[in-house]
A and B are shown apart, each in its own frame.
Chain A
Amino acid sequence: MENKTKAQLFWLVILRLAIGWHFLYEGLVKLSNPNWTSFGYLMDSKGLFEGMFHSMAENESVLNIVDFLNIWGLIAIGLSLIVGFLSRPAIIGGITLLAFYYLSHPAFISLKYALPSTGSYFIIDKTIIELFALVVLFVFPTSKEIGIDKLVFTIKPSTRENE
């Protein structure tokens, strides 16, 4: 924390909030749609892990778990990033989710998806950029400066004694 400028801290927090916002809203919208399921998305999977994602979709109990974890994972990670509570595990969770999304729909030229694309991508797409952004947040944590983690972990020997 000592070596971040105010601007650095500010923009890192903004990045954390943006990703948290994205996760939370996505999760809530899925939650409020009783018909939502990851079935179509998983079945649309292409590439190296296609088989794995298809079998996840085809097994009803696995699919239910995937849907549950996806919705509540998105909501929990989103909440956590926004309020800055338990940010490290949340970031790891977020990276895992995004890795699944990316691996199920890798941006390779030869692969065509049913899901409409919003731009042109080769290897690097928005999913993996969001994933990298989470990695940045992992190596530059901010929740102990701005966030509830500060409140929780502050009952520890303080580094402020030097102040």
Chain B
Amino acid sequence: MNKYNKMNRRDLLKSLATVPVLGAVLYGWHKKKQAVELMKKAMHSEISLNAYNPVIEKEVAAGKKLRIGIIGAGSRGSALLKGAGFVPPETIDSWKEDAAKDKNNTRYEEYLEQEDLNVELVAVCDIFESYAERAIKAGANIFREGSNGKMGNEPKRYRTYQELLADDNIDAVIIGTPDHWHGTITIAAAKAGKHIYCEKPMTWTVPETYEVVKAVQENNVVFQLGHQNRQNESYFKAKEAIEKGIIGKVNLIEVTTNRNSPGGAWVYDIHPDANEQTIDWEQFIGPAPKHEFSLERFFRWRCWWDYSTGLSGDLFTHDYDAMNQILGLGIPHSAVSSGGVYHYKDGRTVPDVLQSVFEYPQKDLSLVYSASLASNKHRGRTIMAHDGYMDVGGELKVFADRGSTKYKQQIEDGLIDPEIPIYSYVPGQEHVDAITSPTEKYFAQRGLLYSYHKGKRLSTTHLHIKDWIDAIRTGRKATCNENRGFEEAITAHMGTIAYREQRKVFWDADKQEIV
């Protein structure tokens, strides 16, 4: 026999014996690809949503520097200032420390990347010394460097909002006061010709709601209500999906609040430097009923109707505004509410559990709000219709309904699985994709995908402030303008009145009043 082995047939067979297995794998892959393609095709022919990416409009930051004043610079006020580009140096220091300790902590980096809106903070009005001082430091910290860094000019301190509004060197104001001051200050600011960014809810009482709209429109100022969720990408998508009729005609909307912590229930910390000397109590009370000095009431004002608009004004308004944005709901025909102070027996008058039901007979739908400040059970926001339903949150998921008429055939053919979203949208992902793997969904839910793709995660508060500033510069209306604010405030007031007066409340659309 030859020393070198000659290939015989048997050896060749042995060499190639496993190659056919390759065919099996490739066949499987091909089949999977086909199924996915088919599913996508089936869905796209139904859904045909543009895979457009809501682009954050790059409008003018150029031009004259806008001069801004802040009225009410507490915790929300500070967040608004941050969105506008003003953070106290101490905060920068702690962000830097955090980043040094944990390099995954990118708050400072993200803040540095936040667009410069070409505005300056020239005026601060707060009735608590520490808050005023903090805001002044934030206003001077224009180089974003921290305690040892360069500082710009300090904004001027005003003791009252009237004095601030009388200053002609201010173009616009941010209002971050407690609810009972929103309407009063907004009206005064509009009359003083200042553009206004006001925290939600727009008003504390029904009558001032009309006055705000009138004052804003008569004085031709740009008004933005603080529903920063207006900038949420997934809401744009949800609106588009509704308009395309993907889930059919909506009949029920369910929105919820689920919180379970003292902070979540408005039991905020009392500042160590707070006392009768450092707080202007008279000014705090303002339009509210007289009451002796109380640190609890000053810091935890949301717990008392004397200053608060309750769950309806504080938290339902965000959900309402989201739904108003997506569905163009407008003001409901009627409202009923019930609930009580069931968990926080701390002397509060505002309920910590609340259910409100709003009817829209002209639209054939109900809007249900259900809130608990003593349970974290996540219930989300759902828009329900005959052909499908939609979960709207940071991301958007659309499901076909098992009993759908529209998708009946596709469900029977196995092209649509009611358990799997027919459409899901994760902000930050370039593509709208119908079939994401379970793993991807998992990561997306936990926000792990947000900073990916273009790399930037932007704060909606910043975008909302930017929207306002851009609107001022270009002379357009802001996204959440006084008309949207009117609908928001009236709806929230209807929910509150229904609870407080224990009755069904109606909106008389002809007379434009609550009855």
Given contact pairs A40-B439, A155-B5, A160-B1, a sample of 8 additional A-B residue pairs in the complex whose CB atoms are under 8 Å apart: A16-B18, A20-B21, A28-B25, A32-B29, A83-B22, A114-B443, A145-B14, A160-B5
The answer to whether B25 and A24 have CB atoms under 8 Å apart is yes
The answer to whether A146 and B18 have CB atoms under 8 Å apart is yes
Does chain A have a CB within 8 A of B438? yes
Tell me which residues from 29 to 82 in chain A have a Cβ below 8 Å from any Cβ of chain B: 29, 32-35, 37, 39-41, 43-44, 51, 54, 60, 78-79, 82
Q: Choose among B7, B437, B442, B449 the residue that contacts A39 (Cβ–Cβ < 8 A).
A: B449
- Chain B residues whose CB sits within 8 angstroms of the CB of A146 once the complex forms: 14-15, 17-18
CB distance from B429 to the nearest CB of A (A): 7
Measured in the bound complex, the distance between the Cα atoms of B5 and A25 in whole Å is 36
Q: Which 9 A-B pairs have the closest CB atoms?
A: A158-B5, A40-B443, A151-B15, A150-B15, A28-B29, A114-B446, A40-B448, A43-B448, A39-B452
Question: Number of contacting residues on B, CB 8 A?
Answer: 42
A54-B104, A114-B443, A148-B15 known; A21 and B3 CB under 8 Å?
no
- CB closest residue in chain B, given A155: B4
Q: Choose among B5, B29, B439 the residue that contacts A41 (Cβ–Cβ < 8 A).
A: B439
CB distance from A153 to the nearest CB of B (A): 10
A34-B431, A35-B429, A150-B14 known; A157 and B442 CB under 8 Å?
no
- Chain A residues whose CB sits within 8 angstroms of the CB of B448 once the complex forms: 39-40, 43-44, 114
Q: Choose among B4, B17, B442 the residue that contacts A115 (Cβ–Cβ < 8 A).
A: B442
Q: Choose among B7, B19, B444, B455 the residue that contacts A60 (Cβ–Cβ < 8 A).
A: B455
Can you list 19 pairs linking A and B with CB atoms under 8 Å apart?
A: A29-B29, A29-B32, A35-B431, A40-B439, A40-B448, A41-B443, A54-B104, A82-B18, A114-B443, A114-B446, A116-B438, A146-B15, A146-B17, A147-B15, A147-B18, A151-B15, A155-B5, A158-B3, A163-B1
Does chain B have a CB within 8 A of A2? no
The answer to whether B439 and A115 have CB atoms under 8 Å apart is yes
- Chain B residues whose CB sits within 8 angstroms of the CB of A116 once the complex forms: 438-439, 442
Q: Which B residues are closer than 8 A to A by beta carbons?
A: 1, 3-5, 7, 11-12, 14-19, 21-22, 24-26, 28-29, 32-33, 36, 103-104, 429-431, 433, 436-440, 442-444, 446, 448-449, 452, 455
CB distance from B191 to the nearest CB of A (A): 51
The answer to whether A151 and B3 have CB atoms under 8 Å apart is no
- Chain A residues whose CB sits within 8 angstroms of the CB of B455 once the complex forms: 60
- Chain B residues whose CB sits within 8 angstroms of the CB of A157 once the complex forms: 3-4
Q: Which A residues are closer than 8 A to B by beta carbons?
A: 13, 16-17, 20-21, 24-25, 28-29, 32-35, 37, 39-41, 43-44, 51, 54, 60, 78-79, 82-84, 114-116, 145-151, 154-158, 160-161, 163
- CB closest residue in chain B, given A34: B431
CB distance from B11 to the nearest CB of A (A): 6
The answer to whether A151 and B22 have CB atoms under 8 Å apart is no
Measured in the bound complex, the distance between the Cα atoms of B452 and A39 in whole Å is 8
- Chain A residues whose CB sits within 8 angstroms of the CB of B21 once the complex forms: 17, 20-21, 82
- Chain A residues whose CB sits within 8 angstroms of the CB of B36 once the complex forms: 32
The answer to whether B443 and A82 have CB atoms under 8 Å apart is no
Q: Choose among A25, A40, A154 the residue that contacts B7 (Cβ–Cβ < 8 A).
A: A154
Measured in the bound complex, the distance between the Cα atoms of B1 and A28 in whole Å is 45
CB distance from A133 to the nearest CB of B (A): 17
Measured in the bound complex, the distance between the Cα atoms of B442 and A104 in whole Å is 17
CB distance from B434 to the nearest CB of A (A): 11
Measured in the bound complex, the distance between the Cα atoms of B13 and A145 in whole Å is 10
Measured in the bound complex, the distance between the Cα atoms of B14 and A150 in whole Å is 8
- Chain A residues whose CB sits within 8 angstroms of the CB of B24 once the complex forms: 21
The answer to whether B452 and A37 have CB atoms under 8 Å apart is yes
Q: Choose among A39, A78, A151 the residue that contacts B12 (Cβ–Cβ < 8 A).
A: A151
Output the residue of B3, B32, B448 with the most chain A CB within 10 A: B448
- CB closest residue in chain A, given B444: A40
The answer to whether B25 and A78 have CB atoms under 8 Å apart is yes
Q: Choose among B25, B430, B433 the residue that contacts A82 (Cβ–Cβ < 8 A).
A: B25
The answer to whether A148 and B11 have CB atoms under 8 Å apart is no
CB distance from B300 to the nearest CB of A (A): 34
- Chain A residues whose CB sits within 8 angstroms of the CB of B443 once the complex forms: 40-41, 43-44, 114-115
Measured in the bound complex, the distance between the Cα atoms of B22 and A79 in whole Å is 7
- Chain B residues whose CB sits within 8 angstroms of the CB of A83 once the complex forms: 16, 18-19, 22
Measured in the bound complex, the distance between the Cα atoms of B430 and A112 in whole Å is 29
Measured in the bound complex, the distance between the Cα atoms of B2 and A154 in whole Å is 13
- Chain A residues whose CB sits within 8 angstroms of the CB of B7 once the complex forms: 151, 154
Measured in the bound complex, the distance between the Cα atoms of B18 and A21 in whole Å is 11
Measured in the bound complex, the distance between the Cα atoms of B22 and A20 in whole Å is 9
- Chain B residues whose CB sits within 8 angstroms of the CB of A149 once the complex forms: 15
